Amino acid sequence: MSNIQSLTYFLPELILTSSAMVIILTDVFFRGRNRNRLIWLLSLVALGIAAIFLLLQTTPPDAIFYGALAVDPYSRFFKWIFLLATVVIYVVSPYSRELDNNPRHEYYLFMLLVVFGLFLMASALDLIIVYLSIEIVSIGSFVLAGFLKQERLSNESSLKYVIYGALSSGVMLYGLSLLFGIAGSTNVFDIQAALSGVPDKAHLTLAVALLLVLTGFGYKIAMVPFHFWTPDVYQGAPTTITAYLSVAPKAAGFALALRILGITFGSSPDMNLGEWLPVEGLPFGTLIAIFSAATMTVGNIIAIQQSSVKRLLAYSSIAHAGYMLMAAAILNAQAVSAIMFYLAVYLFMNLGAFLVAIFIHNRYGYDEIEEWKGLGFQAPAVAVAMGIFLFSLTGLPPTAGFVGKVYLFSVLIEAQQFWWLAVLGVLNSVVSLYYYMRILKAMFLDSEPTGERISGHPALSGTILLLMIPVLLFGVYWSPLMNLVRSSLEFFSPGM
Amino acid sequence: MDTFDLLATIIKVVIVFVTILVTIIILGLAERRVSGFMQYRLGPNRVGPWGLLQTVADGIKFLFKEDIIPDNVNRPIYLLAPVITMIPAFMTFAVIPFGVPLEIAGHTVKLQVADINIGLLYILALTSVGVYGLVLAGWSAGSKYPLLGGLRSSAQLISYELAMGLAIVGVIMVSGGLTFNEIITHQQATSWNFWKQPLAALVFLVAMFAETNRLPFDLTEAEQELVGGYHTEYSSFKFLMFYMSEYANVITASGFMVCLFFGGWDMPFIDEKALGHWGVVLSVLAFVSKVGFFLFLYIWVRWTFPRFRYDQLMRLGWKVLLPLGLVNIFAVGLWMALRA
Amino acid sequence: MTTILFYLFSALLLGAALFVVLNRNPIYSVVGLVFAFMNLAAMYFLLEAYFIGVLQVLVYAGAIMVLFLFVVMLLNVQPDRPHPGLIHPDRWWFGIMALIFVSLFLLLIGQGVRALLTSPAEDAAGMGSVADVGEALFTSFLLPFEIASLLLTVALIGTVFLAKKKV
C-alpha cells in the first residue's frame, strides 16, 4: 500500500522515533539537574504509548510501505517481547550503581532507538530492511556496550563488538546481494518465486548466498561458530545492557531469521511452514541441526569453567539459543510456536537472573561466584527468586523453563527426525544443571547465616519478585501463553 | 559518433583548454593590477603594453627557477599531488555551456564540451576529488606547516561542499533537471534564479569562495601564518601547477555561478536561438562578460574582507550556511507545493 | 568496445585492490583504494548507471576516503616494517591457500552467475538516470531511505558520545 496509508499501521514505530527526536532536543536544551529523570520519564511514556498503539492494532495481516514491512500477529508478539524487556530494563536502570557518573540520558535515548530497530527486525520483508534494521540494533548495541567509558572492560567489549559486528554485517550483505542478483528483487516473496526458476548450475551460488546470510543471522543470535563476541561483550557491558542484549536482540534475530529464511527457503510460499526447500548439495535442516548441536554443547561446556556469573550467564544464553535452534531444524508450525513460547519464557527467567546479578553488583561491585556466598541468608527473597530462575534455566519442573524445553523437544520427537539432537539436548540440560547449581550452592550452602541483611532498592527487588511469578505460573498453568503464541502464528503472505 | 562530431569535440576541447590558459594569464595580471588600483597604486605595468606580458614573464621565471625536492618528502606522492590538483581543475569546465548551439553545415554543435545527463553532479564529484591534491601535497612535504595547512584546507573544502550542494538543490528543484541546458533554458523562460532564490545564490557564492581557497577563506595559504600552507615545499613548475589550478578553479567557479544563478549565456529579453549566428556570438559575449564580472568580484572581495580564522570558518560553514541551505530548500519546496 | 573497456577497468580495479592489501604504507593503500573506487565508478558508467557512478565518486571516493586519509595521517600510522629475510616466511602457504580459496569462490559464483545470465532476467534498462532513481527512492523505497537516515543519526550520535572526553 502507499506510503501515506502505511503510516497508520506504523504508529508504534513512529511514536518511538518521534519521541527519540524529542529526547534529543530535550537533551540539548534542558540543562536542569533532573535531566536524567526527565528523559527516563519521557522514554517510559513513549514506550507506554507505543504499547497502547500496539494493543489497538487488530487489523488482519498486511504489508505496508510497498511490501517492505509486515504487520501481522507474528511481528506483534515479538514487539510485545521487546517492549516488555525494555520496560523491565528501564525500571531497573536508575537503580543500578554501575551506571553512576555516566550520562544516563544518552543511555535511555539509545535504548529507544534500539527498540525501534528491533521492531523493524520483527517485521522485515525486504532485504534492505533486513540489513538496515540489523545495523540499527547493532550500532545502538555497540554504543550501549561501551557505555561505561571509564571502564576498560566496557571499552574493550564495545570494540570487539564493533569489529565482529562490522565483519558479520559485511559478510551478510554480500550474501544478500548475491541473493538479490539471483532473484532480481529485494522482496522476500519475489525471491521465493524466483528461486523455483533458478537453473541447476546456479544452485551452488544459491547455497553460498544462503550460508553468507546465515552468518549474519547467526552472529545476531550468537550461534556457534559466530558466537565469539558474546562472552566478552556480555562481560564488559553494563549488566543492565547485558541483560537486555541477551534477550531482545536474540529474540529479534530469531524472529527475523525464521521469517526470512522460512519464506525464502521454505517449501510453501505462504509460510504455512512445510519443510525446508532442499537446495542442491545443502540439506538445510541437517545444517541447522548441526549448528544447534554445536551451539548447545559449546555454550554448556565452556560455561562450566566460568567463575564470573555474568560470563557464565552469557555462555548459558548461547546454549539456550542452541536449544531453540533444535526446533528450527524442523520448520513447521509446531516448531515456530515452540520457539516463540520459549523466547517468552526465556525473557522472564534470563532477565530475572541478570537482575539478581545487578543486585549483587550493586552491593559488592563484582560478580564472581564468591560474592554470591551466603546470599540465601542475607537477602532470602531475592535468593529464592534466583533459585527459581536457575531451576527454570536448567529446565526442571515445575518451572516454565521445563515446559518450554518440553515443547522444543516434542517438535523433534513428533517430526521423528534428528533423534540424536534431542538426546544431545537432554544431555546438555543435565550438564547445565552443574553450573547453575554451583550458584545455588554458593547462595545457600556455602556459608553460615550471619544475620546480616542486604537490601537493594525496592524497585530492583520488586521487579525480581515480579519476574519470578510468571516463571512459576507458566510452569503449572501455561495454556494462556501457549494460546497467545498459537494465535500469533499468522504470517502475512501475498496471497492474502 | 560520426567524424564531424568527433572533430567538433576535439576542437571544442582545444578551444576551452586554450581559453582557460589564456584567461589564467590575464587573470594573473588583472589580479595584480586591480589589486594595485584598489590599494591606490599602479601595479605591474612595465612588461609589455600595460603590463600585459607580466604573467608570461612570471611563467618564464617559474620555469627557470631551480626545482628543489627536499630530502624528507615522500617522493611518489610529492610528485603526484600537483597532478591530482590540476586535473580536476581543468576537467570541470567541460560541462559548462558558454553559448547557444551553433549551426554549421547542417550539424548542430553544442557550445559545451560534454553534455552529460548528470551535468551538475559531475562538477561536484570533481571538486570532491580535487581535495586529495591538497591533502596529499600537505602530507607528502614531510614538514608540519604544510601538513597543518593541507589538513585544514581539506577540512574546509569538504565542509563547504555540503553548503554548495544544498544551495544547488534549490535550483535543481525549480529547473526540473540536472543538466545545465535545462537550468539555463528554465532561466531564459522565467527570470534568473538570482532574483528568485537570493538566499541560495548568497550561500553558493560564499561556498564557492571557500571551495577555491580564496580570501576571505584562504587561511591555508596565508603567508603570514602558515608560510605557504600545503604548497610550501613546492618550487618552480610544481608550484606553478598549484597556482594555475587555483585560477582555473576560480574561473570554473565563476562559470558555475553564472550558469546556475545568472542565466548562463542568456541576455534578458533576447531570444538568442532565433538570431542564428549573431545569437551565438551574442550569447558567448554575454557569458564572457558575466564570468568576467565574477572574476572581478573575486579580486574585489579579496581586498575588502579580512581573513577568517579557522574556527570562524568552520562555524560559518556548518552552523550558518548549512541551515540556510536547508531553509532555502524547504522554502522552495513549499513554494512549489503551493503553486501546484 | 564496451567489453574492452570492461576488461580494462576490471583489471585496473583488481590491480588497485591488490595494491591496497599488499602495500606496506597505509597512505599508499588509501590512495590505491581511491583509485579502485574511480575504476568502480567507471564500470558503473559502463552499465549506464550514471547516477550511482557519479555518487560513487562524489560520496565514497570524495568524502569517505578523505576521512580515511585524515585518520591515517592524524594517527601517523607508520608503514609496516619488512620481515627479516626480506620476504614473509610463510609466503608459499599464503599464496597457495589464497589461490585455492579465490579460485574455488570464483568457480562457485561464476558458474552460477553465468547460468543465470541465460535465464530470463529482464534487463533493467533505462534505470540509470537520476529521474528513475529518484522516483524509486521516493515511492517504493521511501521507508528504507528514511531508515537509513535514522541509522546514520544513531551512528553519528553514538560516535560523538563514545569519542568525546568530558562526560
Instruction: Select from A24, A143, A199 the Cβ nearest to the Cβ of C115.
Output: A199
Main-chain phi, psi angles of A62, to 5 degrees: -150, 165
pTM recorded for the entire structure: 0.88
Is B129 in Cβ contact with C61 (below 8 Å)? yes
Q: Which pLDDT band, with edges at 50, 70 and 90, does A79 fall under?
A: very high
Query: Hey, which chains touch B, using 3+ CB pairs under 8 Å?
Result: C
Q: Which pLDDT band, with edges at 50, 70 and 90, does C83 fall under?
A: low
Is C151 in Cβ contact with A136 (below 8 Å)? yes
Q: State which residue of chain C sits closest to A175, comparing Cα positions.
A: C109
Provide the chain C residues 122-141 that lie in CB contact (below 8 A) with chain A: 122, 139-141
Domain at C2-81+120-163: CATH code = 1.20.120.1200
Query: Hey, which chains touch C, using 3+ CB pairs under 8 Å?
Result: A, B
Q: Which pLDDT band, with edges at 50, 70 and 90, does C121 fall under?
A: very low
Q: Is the pLDDT of residue A14 over 80?
A: yes
Q: What pLDDT score does A89 carry? A: 93
Residues of A in contact with C156 (CB under 8 A): none
Instruction: Select from A3, A146, A198 the Cβ nearest to the Cβ of C162.
Output: A146
Q: Kindly report the average pLDDT of chain A as a whole number.
A: 86
- The residue range of the domain holding A467 is 283-490
Provide the chain C residues 53-112 that lie in CB contact (below 8 A) with chain A: 105, 108-109, 111-112
Q: What pLDDT score does B8 carry? A: 86
Q: At what angle do helices B276-302 and B3-38 cross, to 10 degrees?
A: 40
Q: Kindly report the average pLDDT of chain B as a whole number.
A: 86
- Interface check for C66 against chain B (CB to CB < 8 A): the answer is yes
Say whether the B–A interface has 3 or more Cβ pairs within 8 Å: no
Q: State which residue of chain A sits closest to C139, comparing Cα positions.
A: A3
| A386 inside domain | yes
Q: Is the pLDDT of residue C115 over 80?
A: no
Q: Is the pLDDT of residue B227 over 70?
A: no
Query: Hey, which chains touch A, using 3+ CB pairs under 8 Å?
Result: C
Count A/C contacts: CB-CB distance under 8 Å: 102
- Interface check for B128 against chain C (CB to CB < 8 A): the answer is yes
Main-chain phi, psi angles of B128, to 5 degrees: -65, -40
Q: Which pLDDT band, with edges at 50, 70 and 90, does C158 fall under?
A: very high
Is C27 in Cβ contact with B139 (below 8 Å)? yes
Measure C10 CA to nearest chain A CA, in Å: 19
Q: What pLDDT score does A114 carry? A: 95
Q: Is the pLDDT of residue A273 over 60?
A: no
Q: State which residue of chain B sits closest to C50, comparing Cα positions.
A: B118
- Interface check for B139 against chain C (CB to CB < 8 A): the answer is yes
Q: How many domains does chain A have?
A: 1
Is B132 in Cβ contact with C31 (below 8 Å)? yes
Residues of B in contact with C62 (CB under 8 A): 125, 127-129, 131, 158, 161
Interface test with A, best of C127, C141, C143, C167 (most A CBs within 10 A): C143
Q: Which pLDDT band, with edges at 50, 70 and 90, does C120 fall under?
A: very low
Q: What's the rounded Cα separation, in Å, for the pair A279 and A283?
A: 7
| A410 inside domain | yes
Instruction: Select from A128, A139, A197 the Cβ nearest to the Cβ of C119.
Output: A197
Q: Which pLDDT band, with edges at 50, 70 and 90, does A5 fall under?
A: confident
- Interface check for C8 against chain A (CB to CB < 8 A): the answer is no
Say whether the C–A interface has 3 or more Cβ pairs within 8 Å: yes
Instruction: Select from C108, C122, C162 the Cβ nearest to the Cβ of A204.
Output: C108
Closest CA to B183 of B204, B214, B211: B204
Measure A173 CA to nearest chain C CA, in Å: 15
Residues of C in contact with A65 (CB under 8 A): 142-143
Region of B51 (left: φ > 0; alpha: ψ -120 to 50; beta: rest) is left
Measure C95 CA to nearest chain B CA, in Å: 28
Strand partners for A70: A63
- Interface check for C163 against chain A (CB to CB < 8 A): the answer is no
Interface test with C, best of A128, A129, A279 (most C CBs within 10 A): A128
| Residue C42 and residue C9 in contact, taking contact as beta carbons nearer than 8 Å | yes
Three-class HEC string of chain A: CCHHHHHHHHHHHHHHHHHHHHHHHHHHHCCCCCHHHHHHHHHHHHHHHHHHHHHHCCCCCEEECCCCEEECHHHHHHHHHHHHHHHHHHHHHHHCHHHCCCCHHHHHHHHHHHHHHHHHHHHECEHHHHHHHHHHHHHHHHHHHCCCCCCHHHHHHHHHHHHHHHHHHHHHHHHHHHHHHHHCCCEHHHHHHHHCCCCHHHHHHHHHHHHHHHHHHHHHHCCCCCCCHHHHHHHHCCHHHHHHHHHHHHHHHHHHHHHHHHHHHECCCCCCCCCECCECCECHHHHHHHHHHHHHHHHHHHHHCCCEHHHHHHHHHHHHHHHHHHHHCCCCHHHHHHHHHHHHHHHHHHHHHHHHHHHHHHHHCCCEHHHHCCHHHHCHHHHHHHHHHHHHHHCCCCCHHHHHHHHHHHHHHHHCCCHHHHHHHHHHHHHHHHHHHHHHHHHHCCCCCCCCCCCCCHHHHHHHHHHHHHHHHHHHCCHHHHHHHHHCCCCCCCCC
| A438 inside domain | yes
Q: What's the rounded Cα separation, in Å, for the pair B218 and B156?
A: 10
Q: Which pLDDT band, with edges at 50, 70 and 90, does A283 fall under?
A: confident
Closest CA to A488 of A287, A308, A336: A336
The string of pLDDT tens digits covering residues B33-87 is 898 999 898 888 888 887 788 888 888 888 888 888 888 888 888 888 899 999 9
- State mean pLDDT over A89-110: 86
Neighbours of A305 (CB within 10 A): 10
| A121 inside domain | no
The string of pLDDT tens digits covering residues A423-472 is 999 999 999 999 898 888 888 887 777 777 777 788 888 888 888 888 88
Q: Which pLDDT band, with edges at 50, 70 and 90, does A267 fall under?
A: low
Instruction: Select from A103, A149, A199 the Cβ nearest to the Cβ of C119.
Output: A199
Please report where in the chains the cell 544475620 appears, as a residue.
A451
Is C115 in Cβ contact with A140 (below 8 Å)? no
Q: Which pLDDT band, with edges at 50, 70 and 90, does B278 fall under?
A: confident
Tell me which of A208-222, A381-395, B118-132, B139-153 is least confident.
Answer: B139-153
